Structure 1
């Protein structure tokens, strides 16, 4: 162990005093995070209402979310660097004002095209606003408070993930002042105004001490590379993964390689690269990119699939599905608190969080396996609580460890890159787990319908439907449930279901028989749906646990502690 030879009192005089308004500024930054997380999810809930009002095809709802994700992902690295060049407070304000204006454009949209364009505006300005927060936290907080500040992101993300669907569903159903779905964007106006006023009052002025210029060629290269990888990840599942999606991903790897070569060359020539190459020589940052990519892939993918399972498979309302996730958010807050108590253990806290989270996910599997299709939110609560605790433990030290070694002139580049990796990981996880889940779903629902066929035949025979008519209805239930499970547009009724309704009417010999047949077909279809969804969900849980185990392993790439002095104190 080395010593500095500086007395404590003398050392204290050489360290600048912490920024006075740092905790108030943190809540302004977190408010911006909340706006982003809410707006990233609201169209999943309110999309059908938007389409019913504005029109558009089956892919309209998909593009309402994709436009936001794509525009934000391609702009994040550039947005982070702009904070170094022009000042993080200034760019945060520009991003917040632009994001709020984009929300207003969304609220007054009169066509699908206008709404999608407004979502692009939101995403671009969000890419300017969000990276500034991580950089300012690193500037404002002393090392001993840094983990607590970064650790707040975990609970906020969890609460937003739960609260977003609840808020969106409530606002659409409440239809305040006849605004319908538009209120989910109008609510951003007071939130955005509060963020702007809070930023003006509490955020510190600051930029890189070195005069910098924006790397235009680098910006164009990384934006193209980001578009080439994010677009197929977001839209590939919608188009059944055609060859061009894989060609785009391969092309993105080439463009990223060219970007890396160009940035290294620019740095050696004494220029100002968009991404500072020295960042990747820091173990905390380079390891953090890999850990973040793996972890956010698993987390985002799991949250998508779990929401599909509860709402489509179990038939929960939006409100009930959101409330079912409350234990997860509560667990994250508990995990964050525990992490502060054991933060001296550094990377081992993150490792412990990954294992606790994996045990919680396994607990969900045990619950589904033992309870079956009638599972309730209360029965899921213990496992979701443990999952949330693990996630809180994992995320609390993560950003601190990754950004601790970043120099002031690298902060904007590091923040933008880190946030971009979150977006890339989320898009990859949604694409991977969503595709696997939906791929399993059709076969699972069809098999469950076949398993329920004997009971259905008995109920049909009770009203004298036998022979070819019975075979037609049993086969129709299989086809209808399968096609409904794999349908890209849930609002449209599959042709097989329409045909089944006609066959049921033709086979019924009386109104009483028609009522019995209708109830039998509906009950069998619902049971097949629940069992098929449950089977697919249980498989996904194994995949998520595998991704958490991978997170545990790649976390060894991180340093044991965020800072060398903490490492010394821990011995």
Structure 2
């Protein structure tokens, strides 16, 4: 493959990645307008986002394994086509229920697309070129997530809320048209479908995530969450048992041979809970607490958040990560914490002031960018070729679980406090909850950077044999 075709393939993959991640947050600003136009219950508003992230989280690991089995380029194209059609259905929805159903189809199709990007990139690049290509994933994902509210606000005001979904249609068509530059790639040893593992992941994740979104269902929901956690815990011994019997488990057990990758999963849940949940809270607060603020104004008010993320991501990937390495993650969390503290201070002393809030948003955005680039680089640099599908699916799945957790925890905190205390106080409380998650994120990330003991010779030979296969 020529350098031009490699660059074109990378552009196609990153565009699809951006398109899918953008759609996870683009409705944050548009959600109040959608609710006003379509009607329905206030409880439907979180589902405009969660209906996308829930099936996305449920099916990501399965989507990664389908790429190993059927071919990553083929599954990628199927997913992009389905995502594009579902986006059109979202734009034409005439009721909250129809929109939520179309969003669920979008999320399921995105779960087919996203896990394939890492595998297809690793199949096309090697050496320093691979490092640069992999390093582009983190900034693209992060920037897409935080630019969603800005674009959603602009499209909602310029066209209507339907424009926030229609934007995906030309992008999806362009990605499909250019996907011919992708060569087919699949696992060297074609794995068989793992139906019991798929069932464990789907049922367990669904039982854990559903109570985070659907409030008011009583203790049975949280009892289901406990059962879901137990089901997910059972996945680890099942995977080991399946591998010992020579089967093809849905998740590669070698990913858990040291603490680094499991720690990355935990850190991802916590970090993306803060990023996604705080983004939703800011969008709702800007539209409910600032005089004359509409969707477009709210979107533009978040430009410092997105610009800070963009500049910090570029600086981290270009200069800081090569010099500081994984330690930059902790700098990013500290800067993010300073930005959130600034938000709390503004809401406590000058509630409703958009202009005083924007510097704090810019600082928080810088913190996001300084964390995401070293995080994804550190989380993926030890992943071997036969682990790619599992690693991509797992990392993206827990990211979506984290985003759903953030929507439920931070968004729920805001919605619960706003009627009685006003939007400024509600924003202050939600920001305080986000701030409380950062020490736990730093603690989990610290295990990603710790050295582990070298494997015993027999284990090393086994790992080498697996990599060779």
TM range (shorter): 0.7 to 0.9
Shift of 1:167: 3.5
Secondary structure of the residue that 2:351 maps to in structure 1?
Answer: helix
Shift of 1:222: 0.9
Secondary structure of the residue that 1:272 maps to in structure 2?
Answer: coil
In the alignment, what sits opposite 1:280? 256
Provide the C-alpha distance between the structure 2 equivalents of 1:56 and 1:390, rounded to a whole number of angstroms: 37
Instruction: Tell which deviates more after alignment, 145-154 or 219-228.
Output: 145-154
Match of 2:328 among 332, 349, 358: 349
Provide the C-alpha distance between the structure 1 equivalents of 2:178 and 2:371, rounded to a whole number of angstroms: 30
Secondary structure of the residue that 1:390 maps to in structure 2?
Answer: helix
Secondary structure of the residue that 1:21 maps to in structure 2?
Answer: helix
Provide the C-alpha distance between the structure 1 equivalents of 2:233 and 2:139, rounded to a whole number of angstroms: 36
Unpaired runs of at least 5, structure 1: 1-16, 446-528, 565-571
- After superposition, the Cα gap between the structure-2 partners of 1:145 and 1:541, relative to the gap in structure 1 and judged at 3 Å, is farther
Residues 321-345 of structure 1 show CA distances to partners (whole Å, capped at 9, x for unaligned) of 1111111221122212322212232
Secondary structure of the residue that 1:206 maps to in structure 2?
Answer: coil
Contact 2:28/2:283 (8 A) holds in 1? no
Shift of 1:301: 1.8
Contact 1:304/1:430 (8 A) holds in 2? yes
Cα RMSD, aligned residues only: 2.7
In the alignment, what sits opposite 2:410? 433
Provide the C-alpha distance between the structure 2 equivalents of 1:100 and 1:215, rounded to a whole number of angstroms: 28
In the alignment, what sits opposite 1:310? 286
Contact 1:131/1:416 (8 A) holds in 2? yes
Residues 224-280 of structure 1 show CA distances to partners (whole Å, capped at 9, x for unaligned) of 1111112111222xx2x6212211110101211233332221111000000111111
In the alignment, what sits opposite 2:449? 559
Residues 453-486 of structure 1 show CA distances to partners (whole Å, capped at 9, x for unaligned) of xxxxxxxxxxxxxxxxxxxxxxxxxxxxxxxxxx
Shift of 1:129: 0.6
Provide the C-alpha distance between the structure 1 equivalents of 2:44 and 2:335, rounded to a whole number of angstroms: 39
In the alignment, what sits opposite 2:311? 334
Shift of 1:560: 5.8
- After superposition, the Cα gap between the structure-2 partners of 1:143 and 1:398, relative to the gap in structure 1 and judged at 3 Å, is farther
Provide the C-alpha distance between the structure 2 equivalents of 1:308 and 1:79, rounded to a whole number of angstroms: 33
Shift of 1:297: 1.4
- After superposition, the Cα gap between the structure-2 partners of 1:66 and 1:90, relative to the gap in structure 1 and judged at 3 Å, is same
Contact 1:348/1:560 (8 A) holds in 2? no
Secondary structure of the residue that 2:111 maps to in structure 1?
Answer: helix
In the alignment, what sits opposite 1:89? 73
Provide the C-alpha distance between the structure 1 equivalents of 2:236 and 2:296, rounded to a whole number of angstroms: 46
- After superposition, the Cα gap between the structure-2 partners of 1:373 and 1:36, relative to the gap in structure 1 and judged at 3 Å, is same
In the alignment, what sits opposite 1:538? 428
Q: Does 1:297 align with 2:277?
A: no
Provide the C-alpha distance between the structure 2 equivalents of 1:363 and 1:46, rounded to a whole number of angstroms: 26
Shift of 1:162: 4.9
Provide the C-alpha distance between the structure 1 equivalents of 2:424 and 2:254, rounded to a whole number of angstroms: 47
Contact 2:54/2:404 (8 A) holds in 1? no
Q: How many residues align?
A: 450
Secondary structure of the residue that 1:297 maps to in structure 2?
Answer: helix
Match of 2:224 among 248, 257, 266: 248
Shift of 1:442: 4.3
Provide the C-alpha distance between the structure 2 equivalents of 1:272 and 1:26, rounded to a whole number of angstroms: 29
TM superposition score normalised by structure 1: 0.72
In the alignment, what sits opposite 1:402? 379
Q: Does 1:194 align with 2:145?
A: no
Secondary structure of the residue that 1:342 maps to in structure 2?
Answer: helix
In the alignment, what sits opposite 1:519? none
Match of 1:361 among 340, 349, 355: 340
Residues 364-399 of structure 1 show CA distances to partners (whole Å, capped at 9, x for unaligned) of 3334444x125233x333322222222111111211
- After superposition, the Cα gap between the structure-2 partners of 1:548 and 1:139, relative to the gap in structure 1 and judged at 3 Å, is farther
Match of 1:167 among 151, 172, 183: 151
Residues 63-92 of structure 1 show CA distances to partners (whole Å, capped at 9, x for unaligned) of 443322222121111001111112221111
Give matches, 1:93-242, under 5 Å. Answer: 93-146=77-130, 148-175=132-159, 180-201=160-181, 203-236=182-215, 239=216, 242=218
- After superposition, the Cα gap between the structure-2 partners of 1:56 and 1:306, relative to the gap in structure 1 and judged at 3 Å, is closer
Q: Which has the higher contact order (CA 8 A, sep 6+)?
A: 2
Q: Does 1:418 align with 2:395?
A: yes
Shift of 1:360: 2.2
Provide the C-alpha distance between the structure 2 equivalents of 1:313 and 1:102, rounded to a whole number of angstroms: 33
- After superposition, the Cα gap between the structure-2 partners of 1:560 and 1:143, relative to the gap in structure 1 and judged at 3 Å, is farther
Provide the C-alpha distance between the structure 2 equivalents of 1:166 and 1:555, rounded to a whole number of angstroms: 29
Contact 2:27/2:164 (8 A) holds in 1? no
Provide the C-alpha distance between the structure 2 equivalents of 1:553 and 1:51, rounded to a whole number of angstroms: 39
- After superposition, the Cα gap between the structure-2 partners of 1:185 and 1:322, relative to the gap in structure 1 and judged at 3 Å, is closer
- After superposition, the Cα gap between the structure-2 partners of 1:67 and 1:440, relative to the gap in structure 1 and judged at 3 Å, is closer
Provide the C-alpha distance between the structure 2 equivalents of 1:302 and 1:76, rounded to a whole number of angstroms: 24
In the alignment, what sits opposite 1:510? none
Provide the C-alpha distance between the structure 2 equivalents of 1:438 and 1:181, rounded to a whole number of angstroms: 21
Shift of 1:418: 0.5
